[in-house]
Structure 1
Amino acid sequence: MSLSPSPPRATAREWTGLAVVALPCLVYSMDLTVLNLALPVLSRELQPSGGQLLWILDIYGFFVAGFLITMGTLGDRIGRRRLLLIGAAFFAGASALAALADTAALLIAARALLGLAGATIAPSTMALIRNMFHDAGQRQFAIGIWIAAFSLGSAIGPLVGGVLLEYFHWGSVFWINVPVMALTLALGPRLLPEYRDPQAGRLDLASVALSLAAVLLTIYGLKQMAEHGPAAGSLATTLLGLAVGALFVRRQGRIDYPLLDVRLFAHAPFCAALAAYALTCLAMFGVYIFITQYLQLVLGLTPLHAGLATLPWALSFVAGSLLAPTLAARWPRARVLVVGLVAAALGFGLLAAGQGLWTLLPATVVMALGMAPVFTIGNEIIITTAPPERAGAASALSETASEFSGALGIALLGSAGMVVYRHGLASAWPTGLGADAVLAAGASLGGAVHLAQVLPSAQGAALLQAAQGGFTDALQAIALVGALLVGAAAWLVARMLRGVDLAAAPH
């Protein structure tokens, strides 16, 4: 009986190429958060309206999410390396345009172009990793580094922005993208392999339009609900987006070469990994928006100290992403996923049970260590379950699920948390404050803190205590919901992968 040959192991060329792949991923994710500390100076210099200021922040993520599926499939058609290099050149140009913007409208347009270029990075880099690393253990470790680059970029975005704004013009937060993308353009053709689907058909423009409309409408509606509460307009926008999404999925089952191969959903490992990834992102994003406010407005940390307080979370995520492949080499991947999810649920539970910085820090570390295998091994299962010629599309679907779940977490858990906050605020409302104060304090914790600063000292102190107490209750309640969601993901993975041999997935 003949044994099938072992897959070739990666050489120094592939590992150096991985560094070339990881750098644009770090910059791509850093751009999601790097502007957070620049809002005051942007408001002063460009004088945007309130709506324009929100679009400056949001349009990048909207366009990334909207074009992920299209770009993943486009890379399968024209070549993944080619798409990455085109995206890197486009990203560098859009970064220069953003750095030189002298009006709010021009900055919004530049951020939209950055999002369009950024959508090429995640699916093309993940798909390239599949082509570069054929050994399963090495591929898992490479994906761990890929995930770590994303995590580190999101974590250091505010810190990098703060340091640059301390010494340079706000445009510097965009100029730093240019040399990274230039390095990618210089080294990519030498170190990265090219791969395309030789049987690819024509890009279906109707599917492109439907996918873009579905993602943008749904995420926009969810974000509006998160910021302003449920309203007829935001609910209608979300439902319209979901309806367009249903038309998109229906069309994919009827055309010869779809953007989204619905046959992937017939594979239990693919569905289990995607569901675990989506539920984890939903819980993580929903809780994270409360953590950042809690650090500054309840515990009283400065923005810099609050950023430093999130570093253990980010570094634990990096460590967990790099450790996950070692665990998967010793134990079945399904077991590693389930144990990681259970650990993450315990971290959420610890956050729900206590309060204060010295509870929050270990809780977020446990959460991050537990979630990291879901991101690393889960993504590896997603791209290896798909046929090699559809790896880009599968990776794009994974990232789109992350964006959708993040937006849903912010909208649903954010709204639920604000209900808890307002209830706590009302139960301890200081006497003598009128309806205007109720409206301002109930809108956000920031509004309550600002109002407390201008009130007479006794009333201000009472209002601040009530608001901070209500917000702490909200954080704990949402952390408990997060624990239940991640626990449900653990049960779902255990049930769906019972008796399934993940080692038999195509490599």
Structure 2
Amino acid sequence: MDGAEVEPARAGAREWCGLALLAVPLLVLAIDVSVLYLAAPALTADLAPSATQQLWILDIYGFLIAGFLITMGSLGDRIGRRRLLLFGGGAFAAASALAAFAPTAELLIVARAVLGVAGATLMPSTLSLISTMFPVPKERSFAIAIWMTTFSAGVAVGPVVGGLLLEHFWWGSVFLLAIPAMLLLIVLGRVLLPEHRPSGPREPVDLLSVGLSLMTMLPLVYGLKETVAHGPAVLSTLSAAAGAVFGTLFVLRQRRLTDPLLDVRLFTRRAFQAAVLLMLLGTIAVNGLFYLVPQYLQLVRGSSPLQAGLWMLPIAAASVFASLAGARLANRFGKRSVLAVAALIALLGCVAIGFTGPETGLGALIALVSLTVVGMAPAGVLGTDLVVAAAPPDGAGAAAAVSETAGELGVGLGVATAGTLVAAVYGASLGSDLPAGLPARAADEAAEGVAAANSVAATLPPESGERLASAARAAFTDAFAMTGLFSGAVMAGIIVLALIAIPRYGAESTV
């Protein structure tokens, strides 16, 4: 009938199989987040990198992913998202092979850099392809939930997989996991994944905008990482400030271009603003806890890395369940209601964590963290869905990149805040419970962290050493509990944001 609105086609078997294929590179990226830290000791013994080289080996991957997300999302909108995804998958496989067999630290740094750039092509491409494959809002929400739970599962099983590989093979084996996964993506991608090309002619990517995007993200991420590692300092503060200045210049540049790298008009939409802020706050809250739980398990409870990874599995299972259930419930009750109720559940869990202590059983603590994650997970899933839904079809790649960038910044801010809070609370708590007669130098070393305190305790007489180690464990437990309360405050903000800024059933209209 003339003038009637055409209903979008529901997804068929090809689309759901394509979603399973899109989960493969995301799973590889998620596992890659954690396995290198397990391989670092063996890698260091084999390649003998300097302290600076070791830092670059660990960090350059994340730096370049964050720096190139906006560029790659916009590039996919221009040249085709499937084309960019398959090219990025091939580059990721080749760089993984180079990293696995790198004979020197310098070559490994180069390989990690290429992995970061290639990784930046994969994340926005997969998410924007989902928006093409699943035009029905309810199906898209569920598909995004599956996509995001894949990443959560990968982060959780990464230490387990990495631990098993390192027990039987050399450190380079952790990189080889990506090669068969990316080859599968390349072979099946042309069959299962659709191509999305722009509806009209597009101008080439503006190189000045690319440079400004990099100069925004790289200093910001560096400043956050340095703050986590060494606390607030002049250099890290100046770095973050420089990123903010370049970010302002980037926005001004985009406003003047007829075909910008990122359509900043999206940020004038209330639903888009709220969705990005929702993702940022949710990521800050959850990563503050995720940053500390493995440390708590190993440093306070004495778990091995593999045991700590196994203890993290129930938390990952809770995230998977809540992400999938949240998408289903949002289709029935509306995004606003689900977000607010889920955040309330997380708030209650965070408050309970705030009252835990050394006497709390490990099973009970993991149950509380799992409950908290159940409430936190829907924020990421539904926030991502709102971001993608608010973008026009030809700008879904750039919008997906904004979503991923918010996630990257949220991880950095969450870890930075948790690290700063832990340092302050740990130092104050330990200082009031040090053994009598402890030398000033030993006290200063113990104040650096639980690991340092345990090292100092090993040099003391048994009674004093045990008192110091016990005090350090109690101080870290106090810091962990305080981080739970901080995450609870963030979740309270999410409740307010959901109730005042999120439409009940989301925003499906475009700019």
Query: What CA deviation, in whole Å up to 9, does each residue of 1:43-88 have, x standing for no partner?
Result: 2111122232222222111111111111000100110000000100
The aligned runs of 1:81-96 (5 Å cut-off) are 81-96=82-97
Residues 1:160 and 2:161 are matched in the alignment = yes
Cross-structure match for 2:424: 419
8 Å Cα contact 1:94/1:110 also seen in 2? yes
Distance verdict in 2 for CA 1:15–1:504, change over 3 Å: closer
User: What does residue 259 of structure 1 align with?
Assistant: 261
In the other structure, the counterpart of 1:440 is 445
8 A contact 2:330–2:505 mirrored in 1:
no
Equivalent residue number for residue 303 of structure 1: 305
Letter aligned with residue 306 of structure 1: A
Q: What corresponds to 1:232 in structure 2?
A: 234
Q: Which residue of 2 aligns with 1:391?
A: 396
- The 8 Å contact of residues 283 and 380 in structure 2, kept in 1 or not, is answered as no
Aligned residue type for 1:184: L
CA distance in 2, matches of 1:154, 1:90: 22
User: In structure 2, what is the Cα distance between the partners aligned to 1:141 and 1:246?
Assistant: 35
Spell out the pairing of 1:159-238 with structure 2 (5 A cutoff).
159-197=160-198, 198-238=200-240
Distance 2:52 2:387 in 1: 38
Distance in 2 (CA, whole Å) between partners of 1:49 and 1:504 is 51
Structure 1 residue 504 displacement after superposition: 5.0
Select 2:413's aligned residue among 408, 428, 431. 408
Match of 2:385 in 1: 380
Cα shift at 1:404: 0.9
What residue is the counterpart of 2:347 in the other structure? Answer: 345
2:317 maps to what in 1? Answer: 315
Distance (whole Å) between structure 2 residues aligned to residue 463 and residue 20 of structure 1: 51
Residue 432 of structure 1, CA deviation: 2.3
User: Does the aligned pair in 2 maintain the 1:218–1:241 contact within 8 Å?
Assistant: yes
Instruction: State whether residues 225 and 234 of structure 1, in contact with CA within 8 Å, keep that contact through their aligned partners in structure 2.
Output: yes
Give me the whole-angstrom Cα distance separating, in 1, the residues matched to 2:5 and 2:32. 45
Secondary structure (helix, strand or coil) at the match of 1:431 reads coil
What is the rounded CA distance, in whole Å, between the counterparts of 1:252 and 1:73 in structure 2? 12
Q: Cα offset for 1:122?
A: 0.9
What is the aligned residue count? 506
Sequence identity percentage: 46
* Contact 1:52/1:105 (<8 A) preserved: yes
1-structure distance, mates of 2:507, 2:230: 47
Match of 2:479 in 1: 474
What secondary structure, in the 3-state scheme, does the structure 2 residue paired with 1:102 have? Answer: coil
Moved more, 7-16 or 284-293: 284-293
Unaligned 5+ segments in structure 1 are none
- 15-24 vs 250-259, which moves further: 250-259
Amino acid at match of 2:231: G
1:400 shift after superposition: 0.4
Structure 1 equivalent of residue 80 of structure 2 = 79
Q: How high is the TM-score relative to the length of structure 1?
A: 0.97
Q: Which amino acid aligns with 2:502?
A: L
For 1:255 and 1:360, locate their aligned partners in 2 and report how far apart those are by CA, in whole Å: 52
- Whether contact under 8 Å (1:351, 1:359) holds in the other structure is no
Q: Indicate if the aligned counterparts of 1:32 and 1:60 stay in contact, CA closer than 8 A.
A: no
Cα distance between partner residues in 2 of 1:501 and 1:464: 52
Say if 2:364 is the partner of 1:367. Answer: no
Structure 2 unaligned segments of length 5 or more: list them: none
Which residue does the alignment assign to 1:12? 13
Q: CA deviation at 1:503?
A: 5.8
TM-score by length of 2: 0.96
CA distance in 2, matches of 1:350, 1:414: 20
Distance in 1 (alpha carbons) for counterparts of 2:183 and 2:474:
49
Q: Which moved more, 1:381-390 or 1:235-244?
A: 235-244
